[in-house]
Chain A
Amino acid sequence: MPLKITPLAVVALAAALSGGGAHAAGFTAEQATAGETAYNANCAQCHGKQLEGPDAPGLAGSDVMQNWATAGGLYDFIHVAMPPSAPGQLGDETYLNIIAYIMKFNGAQPGDEPLTSDAAKLAAISLPAETQAGAAAAAPAATATPDATTAAAATAVPQAFTWGKQLPGGPAPTDAAAPAAATTPAVPQAFTWGKTLPTVAAPAAN
């Protein structure tokens, strides 16, 4: 069996998910702003100002979004267990605001509808879909090339044996090829970003 390396069609996919337009992820800009303050006061000491860790697991990146799966997954965990010095004691509003900030940091776009503790609504908000779609909508320039160097470097790793297959309860294979590129908030790119540029002969692979 060959090594399963998935070339990334990320951004195109994300754009498809977002319908190409602005995408509202089920939280408001005010919630995200309040969440940033609350996050920095209660979480950043261990999880990092840039959500990078390292004294506790990082909270940024497509893996993180895919593992928590939905806003409900994140809420179920943090409103019981976090922060360790005052577990479950920050109050619902604060936990929801922190989730809004984590989503925004990962690329999701705020909208008009606030995040609430309604379990069904929280479970319906897909973290990978919202963060990818939001990031793609915010950075149309990045949609040009799936195999842009940094994206490829960040994701050229083996995948699960079942990756890309239809699993019970899982998304259809095309959707399952869910994106990994926009792991950092979109930033402006060079004018030549996404274009094929001349390159020196690549050394033999080792």
Chain B
Amino acid sequence: MKIELLKSVLVATTALALFAGPALAQNAAAPAATAPAAAAPAADAAATPAPERTKNYVPVTADMLANPPKEEWLMFRGNYNNQGYSQLDLINKDTVGKLQLAWAWPMAEAGIQETAPLVHDGIMFLQTNNNIVEALDAKTGDLVWQYRPTLAELPSSWSYQINQARRQKNSIALYEDKIILTTVDARIVVLNAKDGKPVWEKQVLDTQKGYSYTVGPLIADGKIISAISGCSIAGTAGGCFIMAHDINTGEELWRFNTIDDPENPKQGESWGDVPPENRWGGTPWTTGAYDPATKTTFWGIGMPGPYSELIRGSGEGSVLYTNSTLALDVETGKLKWYYQHLPRDNWDLDSPFERILVDQEVDGKTQHLLITAAGKNGIVFALDRDTGKYLWHKDTVQQNVVTGVDADGTVQINTDLISKAVGEEHLVCASVSGGKLWMTGSYSPLTQAYYVPLTEACNTVAPTQVEFTAGNAVGAVKFGPRVLPEGITDAGLLDAVGINPTQGDHKWQYRSRPSMTSSVLATAGGLVFGGDAARNINAWDQETGEVVWSQRLNAPIGGYPSTYEIDGEQYLVVPTGYSNAASSISSAFPEIPLPTGSGNSIFVFKLPKSGS
């Protein structure tokens, strides 16, 4: 009885916070406590100033999303195919050495920094931790407006949820004259792109159970496609979802549960005796790709919880759809196919990372590939994205978990590393921090190579028997510190994997003492940009792996470097800041001490004006 009473109090509190949200939202460029701009007649423009800079903001159309103008960066990885590739080439192997700082900006919030700035119509939209969004003039660096949400409060003892949810891992989305924001307290908030004021918002799932959004949405087929996080927090048992909402009304159109699919008996059987209400994980924590030709959206799915099958109770089951790629019909949310990159995970080796769509002409026929360094073990896979058929895989970093892949695509694991007793410890490579992590690779059509930022690391894993508490995780393992694999002295690896429909090859591998800490950007200038824990943003030659430009900044390079062009000048954006990818393995390069300040910032470079 007491529990129920308390639950209703929590619900009431949440509802209150929900109502308070938009009303308390602040707007830096406009005075507080103004009426919504849309409601103000034109004559009162001075009273409710929609910023001059965005008065004639050009709406983002569905056509633009399908074929993004090369001067802009409209979505998470620049394009529905998630390639992270820009067609701009003014900054190239010959000119990159002349890059100069155009402007810089400190982010509005500290904490883990994993942001992907978007650029449209000369405005940069920058989101930071705790869902603060700022619009900046992309040419001058002037602030146009700022949106600060009021977020639901959580008890301080819910420390795992607070720490995890605090991350805004990647992006927001642009559509028409709106910005679509997914929040750490599990809401979708739609802002007016002209002034940053909320247009509508919706509480999608219950943040008091543990749900949060840590990845940005995908706008496809007139829908907001979003994926929830927090599915390894105790209260979220039984459900982890990819969802579609109507872009105008917020009405939920479909949801797909990644750990409970009654339409596929094999999925349930793969959890053994464990019922849905004792299943966790399956978090799709990287924004998916979209193929408009087949109206299919592709998402990577994370690990199962508890991490160890001993504690999980799932026996030798493969625990679907954890560590899988899912291909979903964007109109209905129905599963078209799945492929599991790591069955029977016992080590928190998530496989949710970027799914990249690549078309290659071979003998006059277009091959539709999906390539991905799917999981923390760093193995690159190629699939036929129309059927889900396995094509090939290629190891990158040292790993001892996957022993091989059968011709039919069945992944074989090293069962010696599965703990059979509480406290039984194994050294597992890659580590829980990667290997591969959230930092995404880029595919360059110029070289037909996939550039993957990676870390060489191992850690011990031993199951523990834990009573779960609210707001905390269900992992139930003890991890040892991240250490270099035996015989390796460089933590950092940028692996250029040549891609074709029949195999992958190491085109080159660039190794460095410090770990890679940012996503990478490939451009038509023949360059790959990315950065490391030593605060260096580098440009590599896509062909050779030679570093052709390097600049040391204020903090580990983070987030997603991107590029845009205004008035005939190409700009390069480099986010920096506090990084788990740096701190988890810093003992591997003690000669390069990390800063203790968060430093979360963006730096914007461009070439000097010709003739100057």
Q: Which residues of A contact B (CB under 8 A)?
A: 1-4, 6, 45, 50-64, 66-69, 73, 76-77, 80-81, 83-89, 147, 149, 152-163, 167-171, 176-180, 183-184, 199, 202-206
Contacts and interface: CB of A to CB of B under 8 A. Distances in A.
Given A69-B478, A77-B480, A205 B7 contact: yes
Contact of B422 (A58, A60, A167, A206): A167
A111 B238 CA distance: 44
A168 B420 contact: yes
Contacts of A206: 7-8, 11
A3 B277 contact: yes
A6 B469 CA distance: 10
B222 interface: no
A159 B159 contact: no
Contact of A66 (B314, B466, B586): B466
B275 A155 contact: no
A168 B110 CA distance: 43
B234 A158 contact: yes
Contact of B110 (A55, A77, A155, A171): A55
B312 A63 contact: no
B3 A55 contact: no
B313 A87 contact: no
A81 B197 CA distance: 43
Contacts of B544: none
Given A87-B586, A162-B313, A168-B421, A50 B594 contact: no
Interface size class of B (residues with CB under 8 A): 35 or more
Nearest to B277: A3
B7 to A, nearest CB: 7
Given A1-B275, A180-B469, A85 B478 contact: no
A157 B470 contact: yes
Interface of B: 1-8, 11, 110-112, 155-157, 159-160, 162-163, 166, 234-235, 237-238, 273-275, 277-278, 306, 310-314, 420-424, 462, 464-470, 472-483, 578, 582-584, 586-587, 590, 593-596, 598
Contacts of A60: 157, 159
Nearest to B472: A63
B312 A160 contact: yes
B469 A154 contact: yes
Contacts of B160: 57-58, 63
8 contacts: A55-B110, A55-B111, A58-B160, A85-B594, A157-B470, A161-B278, A176-B465, A179-B467
Contacts of B313: 160-162
B423 A54 contact: no
A52 B163 CA distance: 9
Given A157-B234, A161-B274, A73 B2 contact: no
Contacts of B157: 52, 58, 60-61, 154, 183-184
A77 B587 CA distance: 11
A159 B275 contact: no
Given A4-B278, A158-B277, A57 B163 contact: yes
B586 A158 contact: no
A179 B466 CA distance: 9
A25 B473 CA distance: 26
Contacts of B596: 45, 83, 85
A180 B467 contact: yes
Given A58-B163, A169-B422, A176-B465, A160 B586 contact: no
Contacts of A61: 157, 159, 469, 472
B3 A153 contact: yes
Contacts of B477: 67
Given A73-B478, A155-B469, A170-B465, 20 more contacts: A52-B157, A55-B110, A55-B166, A58-B157, A58-B162, A61-B157, A61-B469, A62-B469, A64-B159, A81-B584, A84-B583, A87-B586, A87-B590, A152-B3, A157-B469, A158-B238, A160-B278, A162-B311, A162-B465, A183-B469
A6 B310 contact: no
A170 B594 CA distance: 39
